[in-house]
Structure 1
């Protein structure tokens, strides 16, 4: 009896083990779950999480076609530009960690010209495309390091005006004091391997519901001179914006209104911008420039050119469709730097962004 029970139990155990192995043999392994790109809405529209990370990335860019004209030219000047930018952001214990870069490629359509070594030879066609880094910087909390607009950057919205400064390598720190008030200081290098004293820049910004006021200051060790600037943006009504600018240079500085070390002792200007509707805006304004000067690198002195100049201009800005805008600008420049007549200039621009 016991022998029979033992035999039956052993047989059942063997059958169960055999069935388990048979079942295991036909099981199909499940596929690894796919990680789809997730939308990141922390920093606004257009950001996505980089797969496998908590970093958000936005890809953007611009295609520009522009036709320039001036009464000093012999024909239309046409150019095309392409810009591509990457904006990566993530959160850390020190605040937002941002990495940004923008590359630009430009082409002016080429031209026919003679070889300087063989002026009697055949005309040859050249069509060169230029490229450059416009921006390449990172930000962590209030610290910014890399290539960016100078902290001294700031202009009216017109196309006739001048505010001084351009792209430059720098280290900057900005402190948000709250209530729309921010204070920034920067160390900027205008000339590679020149000396160990950088340009020193500072900015105080106040932004409220009525508009904004920005105050700028900069010191240049090369000529031991400084520059000051104030820029106001006032919302007079829902459709009318009033802008004003005033600048002062104690002498030649890298922040010259015309070019580095080429500027004016002072200037003052204004601009009115009227929004006809959500698509169309019109702006007009002017700026006066007093006591033109340049820097003499041989003597290290500022040279006064005894010239006062002025400029006026008008802009029509129209949004054709979403991400496609056109701008028409007409400017007139005159003064002591134009010994005969003033100069008209302008452009028609198409910007397609993404």
Structure 2
């Protein structure tokens, strides 16, 4: 081997090594595939799959501005701004649909003038806001656990009426019998750490093409009393709906028509709602309340008061644009409760603007 051959061989070896290293330097790892958010149309509009899961999530809410007025209780307009933020997550299991629902609410009433006992202005309170959990529950099949409307919840579509009940923590089971018939039973926590016996509630719902009928029942162990209610909604025509309500209370219960543990022995009401067009709906109705009573917490008994009262009201609902609605309500309340307090009947109502998303 001569010197020329040795030099040529060394140069070739160096080029091979350099070429191998250069090839290694430009090798780029394959990028991980990007998982885009997928639309979930199983549960309706607005749901998306949470990336990496088979759970569908919908985020929504509303912004509300409302102006209230009461001729007997107010010296001016009462304004409220609030928001609601809603999270609805759902997925399918071997036991049926698994739903988780949370809704938060925050509100602000603005500043307020302070008065002394002689109703003389003495100062001004700065803005104050409140924040609360409206709903926090989950459903699996027919079982529901958490904070929700009481199973006894239900009233007319007007803004003048009273049906009894509110938010409450509970365990509920609903059996769907098919053909628009469902039966529900619930155990509801009347008070935190009060006793070991819950409120017992039941509901039978029938929904058909002509409308619906709901039958409610609730038992309150604190006063050993019960409440019953029936609501019917009948579609007279495509535009006209008639709603009827009847209620009975054996005594003071948490489901009181007037307030918690305050109500009436019986009540009847009705509401007529007419859809003028796709944007405008008007309604009018009234409710009569007989033989008022209240709970006596010292004796856990019902105190009979015996007043009879009544209320009427009208509502106008208008859709301004998609997701922006207006509601104007005007009510008149009167009866023996006002007379006993030396007051006249009360005109009251509100203007509400809801911007939802």
Residue 300 of structure 1 corresponds to 300
Partners of 1:242 and 1:121 lie apart in 2 by 47
Residue 353 of structure 2 corresponds to 350
What number of residue pairs does the alignment pair up?
341
Residue 110 of structure 2 corresponds to 109
Partners of 1:316 and 1:299 lie apart in 2 by 45
Partners of 2:329 and 2:202 lie apart in 1 by 32
Residue 12 of structure 1 corresponds to none
Partners of 1:352 and 1:211 lie apart in 2 by 29
Partners of 1:20 and 1:231 lie apart in 2 by 84
Residue 201 of structure 1 corresponds to 201
Matched, 1:155 2:155: yes
| TM-score scaled by length of structure 2 | 0.91
| TM-score scaled by length of structure 1 | 0.92
Residue 333 of structure 1 corresponds to 333
Residue 280 of structure 1 corresponds to 280
8 Å contact from structure 2 (residues 268, 287) kept in 1: yes
Local SS of the residue matching 1:253: coil
Local SS of the residue matching 2:188: strand
> In the TM superposition, what is the alpha-carbon distance from 1:18 to its structure 2 partner?
9.0
Partners of 2:347 and 2:22 lie apart in 1 by 90
Residue 191 of structure 1 corresponds to 191
> In the TM superposition, what is the alpha-carbon distance from 1:26 to its structure 2 partner?
2.6
8 Å contact from structure 1 (residues 115, 123) kept in 2: no
Deviations 1:89-110 (A, max 9, x none): 0111111110001000011112
> In the TM superposition, what is the alpha-carbon distance from 1:113 to its structure 2 partner?
2.3
Residue 33 of structure 1 corresponds to 33
Deviations 1:197-222 (A, max 9, x none): 00000000000111100000111000
Q: Which has the higher mean CA deviation after the structures are superposed, 23-32 or 35-44?
A: 23-32
* Structure 2: tracts of 5 or more residues without a match: 1-14
> In the TM superposition, what is the alpha-carbon distance from 1:20 to its structure 2 partner?
6.9
> In the TM superposition, what is the alpha-carbon distance from 1:139 to its structure 2 partner?
0.4
* Segments of 4+ moved more than 6 angstroms: 15-21, 119-122
Q: Which has the higher mean CA deviation after the structures are superposed, 105-114 or 147-156?
A: 105-114
* Structure 1: tracts of 5 or more residues without a match: 1-14
> In the TM superposition, what is the alpha-carbon distance from 1:83 to its structure 2 partner?
0.5
Local SS of the residue matching 1:338: helix
Partners of 1:115 and 1:333 lie apart in 2 by 28
Partners of 2:28 and 2:297 lie apart in 1 by 79
Partners of 2:183 and 2:121 lie apart in 1 by 60
